[in-house]
Amino acid sequence: MDAETERFWTALRDERQLLLRRCRTCGCHLDYPRVVCTSCYGGDLEWVRSLGTGTIHSFTVSHRQVGGFDLEAPYVVALIDLDEGARLLSNVVGSEPGAVRIGDRVALVIEDLSDDRSVPRFSRITG
């Protein structure tokens, strides 16, 4: 968390919202908060709330337990393409790892790692 990103993390923790930076000039939603648009290089950006829905672009089931990580291996790490167009690295939770497929639809699940820290994860929308 730093001066540029504090709003992103506090919104997850306190308002239970996933915020994205959106460029007012070209409409692009940025993958992570920053002060320049990577699409048109403009500097006029606003915070918007993500719908929290998206599609799995790729995933991997990690059988290696990364030090300090809260989920127990095997767990799913995925690249999620939000419907707004931004891409996030996150985890897919609530499914058997073997059931996950590229193209699956997912929705936001905010998980609290501690009193101070909440992260955006995703679960598969079935049916």
Partner 1 sequence: MKAGREAVIVGVAEAPLAAGKLADRDVNVLGAQARVAVRALAEAGLTLADVDGLLTSGSWGVPGPGRFPTMTLGEYLGIEPTFFDSTSVGGASFEAHAAHAAMAIETGYCEVALITYGSTQRSDRSRALGSRGDGLTSQFEAPFGLPLPVGAYALAAQRHMHQYGTTSEQLAEIVVASRGWAALNPAATARDPLTIDNVLASPMISSPLRRLDCCLVTDGAGAIVLTSARRAESAATLPVRVLGSSEAHSHTHIAAMPDLTLPPAYRTGPEALRRSGVSIGDVDVAMIYDSFTITVLLTLEALGFCGRGEGGAFVEGGSIAPGGSLPVNPNGGGLSSSHPGMYGIFLLIEAVRQLRGEADARQVAGAEVALVSGTGAVLSSAATCVLARG
3-state helix, strand, coil in the chain (%, to 5): 10, 40, 50
91 binds partner 1 (CB under 8 A): yes
In the complex, what is the shortest distance from the CB of residue 96 to partner 1, in angstroms, rounded to a whole number?
13
State how far the Cα of 126 lies from the Cα of 89, in Å rounded to an integer: 21
State how far the Cα of 127 lies from the Cα of 90, in Å rounded to an integer: 22
Q: Which member of 87, 95, 109, 124 binds partner 1 (CB under 8 A)?
A: 87
The answer to whether the CB of 30 falls within 8 A of the CB of 86 is yes
Q: Which member of 48, 61, 109, 110 binds partner 1 (CB under 8 A)?
A: 61
122 binds partner 1 (CB under 8 A): no
Provide the binding-site residues for partner 1, judged by CB under 8 A: 1-2, 5, 31-32, 57-64, 66, 69-71, 75, 77, 79, 87-91, 102-103, 113, 117, 119
